Structure formats: structure tokens, C-alpha cells
A and B are shown apart, each in its own frame.
Chain A
Amino acid sequence: MIMKEQVKEKTILEKLEDVPREVLYGLLLLAFIIPMLNPIGFPVPTSDAVKKWYSTIDALPKGSVIMVDFGYSGGGEPELGPMAVAVYHHIFRKGGLKVIAMSTSIDGPLLWDKAMAEVKPEQYGAKYGVDYLHIGYIAGGETAMAAVGKDLRATTSTDYKGSSLDQYTVMKGIKDAASFNLLIVYTTGGDQSEGWVRQWYTPYRIPYLCAVLAMMVPTMLPYQKAGQIVSLVSGAQSGEMEFLVKVPARGIKSADVITVTHLLVIAFVVLGNIAYFGKKAKGGG
């Protein structure tokens, strides 16, 4: 009797360890879809990094100029897009700030259009060319950052649509990195997020706010600790920013799904280990 039971249990554990991946993927899909169909409205915590990011922008005096690197690729849009949108809401609502954007990513200009369509700057009375502008994608990575930092107007004389920069009042008095009071970077590339430290913070000491994919945060942490980055956040924290800015959108919406899927993953870790150690105990003992 006892023998039989043991044999039966062993096969269950074995089966448990060898669950086909299709089953795992199917469960994951369900964990995504169910909370999307039945939103629960889980709360979102706000972390210090996001609060610091928010207050850094809030503390900018009127007339400050911000450089924004709209540098994420299409792959990172679901994560960084909501963050960029929420921050633009904040900047435009505060008013009196000039925002110049450029892109170190080839997807930047089109994704910027997408983000602006979501923000609708006109609702805050902000005008293209007067309050904000996009100078376009600039090839070359760190070379582009250094070039713009040294002499923006020598690098480009047009905006992303090819219109002359001279006609825009927002460009008045803007020459090089020293004309800027703050640098905001959204990027999916490690070379970019690190490159801005090397090419803008190190030579010009421009305060730097950095938003990257959650997976890139660990490698960027030493810069924050050394004060080279004022505040480092991940796109996954968009919900927190939306909460602070009070414009709920995709970020907060994802909180339910992220909670449920993470619970599933934790359950997977536990189950997988039960199977592994159970099998080992039976096999070894």
C-alpha cells in the first residue's frame, strides 16, 4: 500500500516538473486577460524615486529650459510611453517652462507624435514652437549628445519636420548644453542612458532625470548613488507618476494585470520548487 502511494506521488511530482510550456504560457495569458476583462482597481504605491522626480520638475523656476531625450524604441513604448505622457502633462500644467525634445532612437519622432496626441498640449494652452519643440532624431548616439551639448544650432538648423528653427520663439537664447536647466531622458538603450551621464552630466553638470526599462534600472543605480542622476525611475512606475500628476491612464490600468501575473509567477516559483525538491527527496530518500 505504502509503496504504491509513493510511486503515484512521484509521478505527479515528475509531471509537475515537466509541465509543457504551452500550459505555462496559457496560464500566463489567462492571468493577463482575466484582470483586463474584470478590472479590480488595485492601488499603486508611490516610491521615493518617483516623488523626487516629480518634485524636481515642480521646483523648476519659471522660464527654465528642459532638454528631453525621447529615446525609446517601439519595443519599450508600452513601458516608457505612459511615463513620458504623464510627465508632459505635469510640465504643461505647471506652465512657464520650455521643453526641447530630441531623439537618440530612430523611433523617437513618430513615438513623440503618438505621445503628443495623447497629451493634447493645447488643453494647457501650450503651443508648438512657443512652449515646446522636437528637433528630431539625431544619429550617432554619444556623438550626437556631445554635438548638441557643444553647439545645438551648429548640429541642426531645423526641427523634426524640417522647418527652420529661427522661426520658433522657444529657441530664442538656446545655444548649447549650458542653456538648459534640466535633462530628462526616456530610453530603452543602455548606451544612451549612460551616454547622457558621460556627455552631459560629466562636462556640464546638468541635473539629469532618467527613466529606463525596469530591467535596466540595476545597471544605472551606481550613477544615482553617485549623484550623477537626480532620480532614476523605471517605466513600470508610470502608474505612480500618473497618480501624482492625477491623470490616470495606461500605467495605473496595468497595476491589476501586473499584480495578478506576478502572483502567478510567484506561484510558479513555489510549485516548481515543490516539484523539484519533492522529486529529489523521493529519489534520494
Chain B
Amino acid sequence: MAADLATVMQIWFAALFTVWIYSIAFRDNVFFKFAEHTFVGAAAGHSLVYGIDNVKRYGWTPFTQGASLYAVVFLLGVLLYTRYHKSYFWISRYPLSIMVGLGIGLSMRATVKAEFIDQIISTAGLKVLGVDAWTGFSNLLFIAIVLAVVYYFVFTFPGIHGGRLGVISKFARYGMMAAFGYSFANTVLSRFNMIFGRLDFLMTEWLPLPGAMIAMPIVLILMVYAMIPAENRPWPKPT
């Protein structure tokens, strides 16, 4: 029974937080503020918990098994927090510089291949001739848009955008706008899926619980009340 009670309580909390967060779409109110602060606090707590978990599992465990070099990492990790000290904050730059160097090295060595050369290879490998007319046209358009967009982002050679050549930039913008329209529609889809997820939770898990159908209107009325500006509320009087 105890486990059941825990589940029921979990659903109630989750449901209330869901409804309270949605209320911001209509107007700011105290319930939203409460939910929002819970969110921010929980997020910080959650990442702290997983930070500790990671330090323990990836650092402490090998250290206890004899990898004594990890003591240095712990020291560096603690030094990261000198950033909050008024005069010794610069010490945190040492561990940070290792992280930054790693990040740059890992990203640069792969970016030049994955996002530059491989993209060039893939574009240059498109066939315009020797395929059916529609594919040929599509590939030609594809190549034209890639070239035009890269051309568009050349900034310091103003000559290449002057006069009739300006048409290339215009074409590039057309291509990008078509792409943005597609992205826009996909974002709508993503957000709606998320709303569906929450409403599905409310309707299939919360509302069937005993008392939920009675509680829901009360929750909504309280929320609407909280949306009324304080000076217009009959109670409590603003201080």
C-alpha cells in the first residue's frame, strides 16, 4: 500500500506543477512563481547530485583502486571553485584551461573534417549529368544553393557582391528562407508533441485518481484568482 501511496502522491505533485506552469501562458501568478522556483532549485540540485555521482564513480573509484594520480584531478576540481574568491579567482583558470584546451582540440580536429571537408566532398559528388532530368535539376539547385549561401557569408570582399553579382546573395537568402519555413513548421510539431505528453499525463494518470476531478476545478479557480492584480482582489488586502 505504501508504494501505491507514493505513486499517487507523485502523480499529484507532477500534475499540480504541470497546471501551474501552464498558467503563465495566460498571466503571471503566484502559483507559477512557486512552480518556477521549484524548477530552478530542483535543476541546480539535480545537477549537483549527478556531479557528485560522476566524481565518485569516475574519479574516486579508480583512486581507491590505486590510481593515485587522480588526487591531482580532485585538487584541480576543487580549485575550480576559487572563481568565487575575490582575489584568488584566477587560480580557477588553471583547471579551466585544461578543459578549454581539450574542448578546442577535440572540436577543431574533427570539425575540419566533419563539417568542412566532408560537406565539400558530398556537394562535389552530386551528379548533374547522367541522371534523370528531375534528379539532375534538384542536384543542380542543391549545389547552387550551397554555393550561394557560402558566397553570401563572404563579408570582407565587397566587390563580389556589387552590381549584378548581388543577385547571388538574393538567391542565397531565398534558399535560406525556404529552409527556415521548414524549420519553423518542425518546431511547431516538436512543441505540440511536448504539450501532448503533458496533457496525456494529466488525463490518463491524474484525472482518473480519486478526488482529482473535484480538485481540478478548485485548482483552476484558485489560479484564476491569483491572476487578478493584487489591488483588485477582495482578499487578501495588499499591504
Contacts and interface: CB of A to CB of B under 8 A. Distances in A.
Do any beta carbons of A and B sit within 8 angstroms of each other in the complex? Answer: yes
Interface string A204-240: 0000000001110111001101111000001110000
A235 B190 CA distance: 8
A226 B122 contact: yes
B141 to A, nearest CB: 14
B192 interface: yes
Contact of B192 (A22, A201, A225, A261): A261
Nearest to A224: B122
Interface residues of A, number: 56
A156 B182 CA distance: 41
Contact of A198 (B99, B106, B188, B196): B106
A139 interface: yes
A162 B57 CA distance: 7
A191 B134 CA distance: 35
B38 interface: no
Contact of A139 (B50, B183, B203): B50
Contact of A142 (B62, B103, B182, B183): B103
Nearest to B58: A156
B193 A77 contact: no
B193 A254 contact: yes
Contacts of B110: 197-199, 202-203
A258 B193 contact: yes
A217 B186 contact: yes
Nearest to B55: A139
B196 A155 contact: no
* Chain B interface main SS type: helix
Contacts of B157: none
Interface in B183-233: 183, 186-200, 203
A44 interface: no
Contacts of A40: none
A214 B54 contact: no
B61 interface: yes
Interface string A14-28: 000000001001000
Interface of A: 22, 25, 32-33, 36-37, 75-79, 81, 106-107, 136-139, 142-143, 146, 155-158, 162, 194, 197-199, 201-203, 213-215, 217-219, 222-223, 225-228, 234-236, 250, 253-254, 257-258, 261-262, 265
Given A37-B203, A79-B194, A214-B187, 7 more contacts: A198-B107, A215-B187, A215-B190, A218-B179, A218-B183, A226-B122, A257-B192
13 contacts: A22-B26, A33-B199, A36-B199, A36-B203, A76-B194, A77-B197, A78-B197, A106-B50, A107-B46, A146-B106, A215-B189, A254-B193, A254-B200
Q: 3 tightest A-B contacts by CB? A: A78-B197, A198-B110, A226-B122
